[in-house]
Amino acid sequence: MAEELLKVENLKKYFPIKSGLLQKTTGNVKAVDDISFIINKGETFGLVGESGCGKSTTGRTILRLHEKTEGNVEFKGIKIHDLKREELRKLRPKMQMIFQDPYSSLNPRMTVGQIIGEALIEHKLVSKLDAKDKVLEVMDLCGLAPYHIKRYPHEFSGGQRQRIGIARALALNPEFIVADEPVSALDVSIQSQIINLLIESQEKYELSYLFISHDLSVVKHICHKVGVMYLGSLIEFADKDGLYKNPLHPYTKALLSAVPIPDPTIKRERIILKGDIPSPANPPKGCKFHTRCPYAKPICREAVPIYKKVDSNHYVACHLY
Ligand code: SF4
């Protein structure tokens, strides 16, 4: 039976909007608005949606890089947001993050060896003597040569820098990694190499990932489950096959219609959504998607659709179901 590693329950993260001379709070940007999901050990959960939908804020709030507004995040039964600073510091190695832009997340004045070894020594995971061996071990796993240990980030290509970022995370023996758009800054030819590296590392260390991406074609290669976010809400969730073979929510259908099909004999009609994403500071009433949905009915403008189970492990929030 699957072992639960991370549980997110009714998580909310609002950013206050301040205005006036006295900087009074006049509203909130509801970046994450009541979302729940579970990630099991050894599993990858893909969180997809357009830019600004709250995916990255979800990842950061889970790791407590942002404080939550409401809700709960449990890692192996430990409530992350209840931990004291020192308790959180001790847990940090187990929950790591890989960033979209590997260059800005690597200190340009440090060598690869220092970058990968820094947290290892800080968290006292190995002695200073053994740190170099551990650094070389993860560098090898990530496809970096031993002589790279003395090089600086600017000497590497984008793909290699992302390998350094992954090696830095893996050095700490994490159990859970938030990968925030880890391949979207890379050339398509390099993307699959990095995806393969993440899959190999997952198999070797039984890692669990929250894989954040705006691109459903990338998510397909790595995820076991997929959640689709729109304006801070999780609007559909399913196992990978369930979502790709039978998308239910009109927004998911529109996103999937933009994914190229490798078979040229199959034609899929592209669904072009009208209008822009509304502001998360002032989301539409009822279904947040109703301003852009081709199937919107009068009820959609009034009532928030309930998140319903429509199949085993397939959930959707839409009045059509
Ligand atoms: S609830 Fe209505 S507006 Fe929202 S996605 Fe479903 S049909 Fe479209």
Residue 298 Cα, ligand 1 centroid: separation in angstroms? 10
pLDDT at 23: 86
Is the model's pLDDT at 105 over the cut of 90?
no
Output the six-digit token pair for 50: 């357009």
Cα 250 to middle of ligand 1, angstroms: 7
Best CA proximity match to 31, nearest among 70, 5, 63: 70
Q: Is the pLDDT of residue 236 over 90?
A: yes
Each residue's pLDDT tens digit, 243-252: 999 999 999 9
113 lines ligand 1 (CB under 6 A): no
Distance between CA atoms of residues 38 and 32, nearest Å: 16
Confidence of residue 170 (pLDDT cuts 50, 70, 90): very high
Structure confidence by residue, pLDDT tens digits, 32-65:
999 999 999 999 999 999 988 999 999 999 999 9
CB 32 within 8 A of CB 232: yes
What pLDDT shows up at residue 272? 81
From the alpha carbon of 249, which atom of ligand 1 is closest?
A: 5
In the chain, pLDDT over 70 holds for what percent of residues? 100
Ligand 1 and 290: CB distance under 6 A:
yes
Q: Of 30, 164, 48, 13, which is closest to residue 101 (Cα–Cα)? A: 164
| Sequence-ordered alpha helix ranges (H) in the chain | 55-62, 85-91, 112-122, 128-141, 158-170, 188-205, 216-222, 240-245, 250-257, 298-302
- pLDDT reading at 102 higher than 80: no
Confidence of residue 75 (pLDDT cuts 50, 70, 90): very high
Distance CA 157, CA 288 (A): 41
pLDDT digits (tens, 9 = 90+) for 108-125: 999 999 999 998 888 888
Cβ atoms of 190 and 109 within 8 Å: the answer is: no
pLDDT at residue 305 greater than cutoff 90: yes
Q: Is the CB of 304 under 6 A from ligand 1?
A: no
Of 300, 306, 308, 321, best ligand 1 pocket probe by most atoms within 8 Å of the beta carbon? 300
Please check the confidence at residue 265 and state whether its pLDDT lies above 90.
Answer: no
Q: Is 286 in the pocket of ligand 1 (CB under 6 A)?
A: no
How much distance in Å is there from the Cα of 195 to the middle of ligand 1? 33
Q: Which residue's CA lies nearest to atom 5 of ligand 1?
A: 318
Confidence of residue 277 (pLDDT cuts 50, 70, 90): confident
Q: pTM of the entire structure?
A: 0.94
CA of 317 to the centre of ligand 1 (A): 8
pLDDT bin (cut points 50, 70, 90) of residue 168 is: very high
- Give residue 156's pLDDT band: very low, low, confident or very high (50, 70, 90): very high
154 is written with which tokens? 């600017």
Determine the distance from the C-alpha atom of residue 28 to the mean position of all C-alpha atoms in its chain, rounded to a whole number.
23
